[in-house]
Amino acid sequence: MFVRAAVRGVLHEGMIAAALTALMVLLFLGTWRGTLIIATSIPLSVLASITALSALGETINLMTLGGLALAVGILVDDATVTIENIHRHLAMGKPTVQAILDGAQEIALPAFVSTMCICIVFVPMFFFTGTARYLFVPLAQAVVFAMLASYGFSRTLVPTLVMRFYGHRDGLGHTGPTAVALWLRPFVAFQAAFERGFARFQDSYSQWLATALHYRFTFLVAFLVFCLASLQLVPQLGQDFFPTVDASQFRLHLRARSGTRIEETAKLVDRVGAEIRQEIPAHEIAGILDNIGIPFGGVPLTYIDNGLVGVGDADILVSLRPGHRPTEEYVRRLRLRLNRAFPGVTFYFLPADIVSQTINFGLSAPFDIQIVGRDQAQNRAVAQRLAERLRRVSGIADVRVQQPADQPRLQFAVDRTKAMELGLTERDVANSMLLSLSGSSQVQPMYWLHPKKGVQYLINVRAPQHAMDSLADLQAIPARSGQAGQGEGQLLTNLATIRRSSGPPIVNHYNVMPVIDVLAGVNGRDLGGVLRDIRPLIAEAEKDLSRGNFITFRGQAQTMHSSFVGLGVGLMMAIVLIYLLLVVNFQSWLDPFIILTALPGALAGVAWGLYLTHTTLSVPALMGAIMCLGIATANSVLVVTFARNQLHEGHDPLIAAWEAAAGRVRPVLMTALTTIIAMLPMALGLGEGGEQNAPLGRAVIGGLIVATFATLFFVPVVFRLLHRRTQVRSLEDRDALVPVR
737 pLDDT band, cuts 50/70/90, is very low
Exposure letters 529-542 (e unless 16+ CB within 10 A, then b): bbbebbeebbeebe
572 versus 276: which is more confidently predicted? 276
End-to-end CA distance of the chain: 60
State yes or no: pLDDT of 297 exceeds 70.
no
- Please give the pLDDT value at position 727: 56
State yes or no: pLDDT of 232 exceeds 70.
yes
Same domain for 666 and 723, yes or no, is yes
State yes or no: pLDDT of 738 exceeds 50.
no
Quote the CA–CA distance of 646 and 716 in Å, as a whole number. 13
Q: Give 71-91 pLDDT, tens digit per residue.
A: 776 777 777 778 777 877 887
- Please give the pLDDT value at position 2: 54
Same domain for 290 and 216, yes or no, is no
Least confident of 120-134, 166-180, 368-382, 625-639: 166-180
- Please give the pLDDT value at position 386: 92
State yes or no: pLDDT of 719 exceeds 80.
yes
Beta-carbon count within 10 A of 591 CB: 22
179 pLDDT band, cuts 50/70/90, is low
259 versus 13: which is more confidently predicted? 259
Angle between helical axes of 527-542 and 376-390 (0-180°, round to 10): 140
CB 685 within 8 A of CB 694: yes
- Please give the pLDDT value at position 488: 66
Q: Is residue 338 part of a domain?
A: yes
Same domain for 462 and 582, yes or no, is no
Same domain for 299 and 434, yes or no, is no
Quote the CA–CA distance of 169 and 192 in Å, as a whole number. 19
Burial of 117 (0-12, 13-18, 19+ CB in 10 A): buried
Output phi, psi for 538, to 5 deg: -65, -45
Quick one: CA torsion of 353, 356, 361, 362, rounded to 10 degrees? -40
Q: Is residue 124 part of a domain?
A: yes
Burial of 314 (0-12, 13-18, 19+ CB in 10 A): buried
733 pLDDT band, cuts 50/70/90, is very low
Same domain for 723 and 576, yes or no, is yes
Quote the CA–CA distance of 179 and 176 in Å, as a whole number. 6
The string of DSSP codes covering 191-202 is HHHHHHHHHHHH
Chosen domain end from 307, 331, 352: 352
Q: Is residue 531 part of a domain?
A: no
Q: Is residue 546 part of a domain?
A: no
Chosen domain end from 447, 480, 503: 503
Mean pLDDT of all residues in the chain? 81
**Angle CA(16)–CA(704)–CA(211) in degrees, nearest 5?**
135
CB 551 within 8 A of CB 367: no
691 pLDDT band, cuts 50/70/90, is confident
- Please give the pLDDT value at position 271: 92
- Please give the pLDDT value at position 177: 44
Same domain for 227 and 275, yes or no, is no
- Please give the pLDDT value at position 382: 92
SS3 sequence of 220-231: HHHHHHHHHHHH
Q: Give 656-674 pLDDT, tens digit per residue.
A: 888 888 877 887 887 788 7
State yes or no: pLDDT of 242 exceeds 90.
no
> Which of the 8 DSSP states describes residue 711?
I
- Please give the pLDDT value at position 203: 86
Percent of residues, the chain, with pLDDT higher than 70: 88
State yes or no: pLDDT of 736 exceeds 50.
no
725 versus 646: which is more confidently predicted? 646
Quote the CA–CA distance of 217 and 724 in Å, as a whole number. 13
Element (H, E) at 18: helix 2-29
Quick one: CA torsion of 84, 86, 87, 92, rounded to 10 degrees? 130
Element (H, E) at 290: strand 285-292
**Torsion 361-364-368-370 (CA) sign:** negative
State yes or no: pLDDT of 166 exceeds 50.
yes
Q: Is residue 126 part of a domain?
A: yes
Quote the CA–CA distance of 30 and 38 in Å, as a whole number. 13
Same domain for 319 and 433, yes or no, is no
Same domain for 78 and 166, yes or no, is yes
- Please give the pLDDT value at position 482: 63
Same domain for 219 and 111, yes or no, is yes
- Please give the pLDDT value at position 272: 92
> Which of the 8 DSSP states describes residue 617?
B
Quote the CA–CA distance of 396 and 727 in Å, as a whole number. 64
Q: Is residue 362 part of a domain?
A: no
CATH number at residue 275: 3.30.70.1430
Same domain for 84 and 210, yes or no, is yes
Chosen domain end from 352, 367, 398: 352
CATH number at residue 644: 1.20.1640.10
- Please give the pLDDT value at position 674: 79
Residues with Cβ < 8 Å from 118, sequence gap 6 or more?
74, 143, 147, 627, 630, 631, 633, 634
Same domain for 643 and 619, yes or no, is yes
- Please give the pLDDT value at position 734: 43
Same domain for 217 and 255, yes or no, is no
State yes or no: pLDDT of 225 exceeds 90.
yes
Q: Is residue 701 part of a domain?
A: yes
**Angle CA(106)–CA(107)–CA(108) in degrees, nearest 5?**
100
Output phi, psi for 294, to 5 deg: -100, 130
Quote the CA–CA distance of 77 and 84 in Å, as a whole number. 10
* Angular region, 614: left φ>0, alpha ψ -120 to 50, beta rest: left
Q: Is residue 363 part of a domain?
A: no
The string of DSSP codes covering 415-468 is -HHHHHHTT--HHHHHHHHHHHHT-GGGTS-EEEE-TTT--EEEE-----GGG-
Q: Give 33-72 pLDDT, tens digit per residue.
A: 777 887 788 888 888 988 998 888 888 777 787 777 777 7
Domain that holds residue 265: 248-352
CB 92 within 8 A of CB 170: no
182 versus 341: which is more confidently predicted? 341
Q: How many domains is the chain partitioned into structurally?
A: 3
Angle between helical axes of 262-279 and 327-341 (0-180°, round to 10): 130
Residues with Cβ < 8 Å from 233, sequence gap 6 or more?
607, 608, 610, 611
CATH number at residue 412: 3.30.2090.10
Residues with Cβ < 8 Å from 294, sequence gap 6 or more?
301, 308, 310, 311, 313
Which stretches within 587-689 are classed as H helix?
590-596, 599-612, 619-648, 653-663, 665-684
